């Protein structure tokens, strides 16, 4: 992060919010706040945090990254 007033200060959060809106909110309309809350929880906790591949982890999911690796012979 840069200093106060830099144009890139909110870039990470804007990118994340845009992704959530594109992948979750634009697909269907939710009738209640509870439905929206559940869908958001599933998107973040189940897909984003457990299944989505991350470039920083060598294109592995967080679960795959945490598994013990067999020793190299």
Answer whether 2's CB lies under 8 Å from 8's CB. Answer: yes
Q: pLDDT digit string (tens) for 2-60? A: 566 666 667 777 877 788 788 777 778 888 989 888 888 887 887 777 777 778 888 88
* CA 48 – CA 37 distance, rounded (Å): 15
Q: pLDDT digit string (tens) for 57-72? A: 888 887 888 887 777 7
Full-model pTM: 0.51
Cβ neighbours of 41 (radius 10 Å)? 10
Q: Name the token pair of 23.
A: 């992948």
Q: How far apart are the first and last CA of the chain?
A: 42
């Amino acid at each position: 992060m840069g200093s106060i007033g830099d144009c890139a200060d909110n870039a990470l959060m804007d990118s994340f919010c845009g992704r959530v809106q594109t992948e979750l909110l634009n697909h269907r309309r939710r009738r209640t706040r509870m439905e929206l809350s559940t869908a958001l929880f599933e998107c973040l906790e189940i897909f984003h945090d457990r299944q989505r591949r991350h470039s920083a982890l060598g294109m592995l999911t967080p679960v795959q990254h945490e598994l013990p690796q067999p020793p190299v012979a």
